[in-house]
Structure 1
Amino acid sequence: MDRRRFLAAGAAGVAGLAGCLDDVDAGNGDGPTRTLQLVLSSEPTTLRSGYVVDLAETDRPADEDAFRATLDGERVTSQHRRPFGARPEDPVYTRHEGTYYRLGAVVVDEAAVTRSVLRLSAVGDVDDADVPAATAADDLPERDRTAVHVGHMAARARGNEGGVPWGLVQRGGYVYRDAAAVEASRLLADDGPSHVSYRGTVYAVEVSRERFHEPVYRATADPVAETPERMEAILRAQFVTARLSRDALPDDARAIIRDARDGYEETHPYSEAYRTVLRGLHARAYLDGNVEKDAYVEDPGTGVVLYDGMYYDYRIRFVRRG
């Protein structure tokens, strides 16, 4: 798991647990036991390995062309999707001819466009005798299969507790934005199937044409450093959330940090050694065990700790046992 996914998973875990812990015992009763878990990445890494990318090796082939064109002074724009996948809170850097660049985007316009939106509604199991005939999702073009998968997640979430991946689900379904995918689609065709089957369920297909107002981005590439050391310092200033020294910690606290690479947890009230580690990570809001009032709001559940000159990603979250 790379740094971005490690940290995102931890944030999602804390957010998902906030507000749903009223029925979880802290370890003093007969109900499920709630423990506070600390996980450190198993191996230390440089920050550059997580934030400096080789554009030729990403899954966005247009990014390398956009970067080179931007360096040549060309104005490169894209609609809806940010160039390089960069966001203000999650920047992307690359290195070219010895210079490090921060890649980003600025909004320069708004575009109004009509898109096709696919939504699915479950009508029954594929084995039910009274369900309509349905086209199997596996028999559809690739982008249609993606649309069915996203539509299935949105349909499954309706009326149920939990959430959906809003980066994929939009307006309760899947939005077709690629012209080639629209052209190849069977689901969007006038004679397309009215029902599809996916993962044992038959879904009714609804397609609508809707108006979207999307940002237009201009790609940016700003030089920020000429040496790896300077680049590391820039990243350290942005992303290191805690700094610990082995010599300043008691033996039992050092043992917790070592064990946390496989996951370390305790029930509240925590040992003094664990409290020392949590304070060192600036996770003080967790010390009283009350995540609902302050830990989720004030203290993030993820971060990067600099421990004796090495960087480790860490994640703090509550888990249930029993």
Structure 2
Amino acid sequence: MRRPALFTILAASAAASIAAGLLCGSVTITLPEAFGSLFSSEPALARDIVWGVRAPRVMAAFACGALLACAGALLQVLLRNALADPYILGVSSGASLGALVALTLGAGAFATNAAALAGALAAIVLVFGLGFRSADANAYRLLLTGVVLATGFAALVSLILVTAPQAQVKGMLYWLMGDLSDAESPAAAWIVLIFVAAFGMGYATRLDLLALGEMKARTLGVEVMPLRIGVFLVAAAATVAAVMLGGAIGFIGLMVPHALRLVGVVEHRALIPCAMLLGGAFLTIADTASRTLWAPQQLPVGVLTALIGVPAMLVLLKRRP
């Protein structure tokens, strides 16, 4: 498929997912009602539901999905590992540990997010300090450092789940499986997303060369170590912003870059914007389904990302020559 056609399809899908997120839910709103409430000065239930409740959540879901997809694309070229995703370096596990400690202490949403940020920053410092300790640091060392730290954080998370009061366990599990119900202020995530997109587009050529291997990249004039450090920090920032917004939502960072590469999108100048659109649309659709199919109850959105994404990925793999 040609890139302009693919980009047009992805942009249309993103717009459709946002529209569906605004209109669908436990209370169905028609398109005329939504637009009518926007331009009306009269108090209206439709305006309160669409623009006061759903719009912030939809924008949060789109930003979160786009951040995870971009982080996955960057980490896969950094580590030269097709199985790399935003959580492989332990940033998400560190954030999860911080959030669960806060939830155990009965903290509110703000304190929980602050604790998640502290845990993620601690993980970033550890991975950066250990993985880039020497000038000859390579992808294998960085990957191994991240996996070891992620395993340690996961063990502490399991310990907290086992010892926490039963009344708090459900909230913890929702956070670990991904939950956008408290995502009311996505502005910071959008700022991070713009920065990540600018980095990916600005360094697209160097990322393409890095994907060929460090030796080839050096031969062609790329300063590999500063680039690798920059990619790590940008991917970590994207992961932190996404995790603070929606918890530990899995599979998007792994699936979206793979899906795009399977249809021929390899160069990062096209991969990064396409990943933003596909990742954002995918998570927006999954979140809309999570709060609509079992209304008034809501499922953790991470459950649906896997249930929807796994068969879609298998179909793509089957069709690959």
TM-score normalized by structure 2? 0.20
Q: Which has the higher helix share?
A: 2
Q: Which has the larger share of strand?
A: 1
Q: Normalized against structure 1, the TM-score is what?
A: 0.20
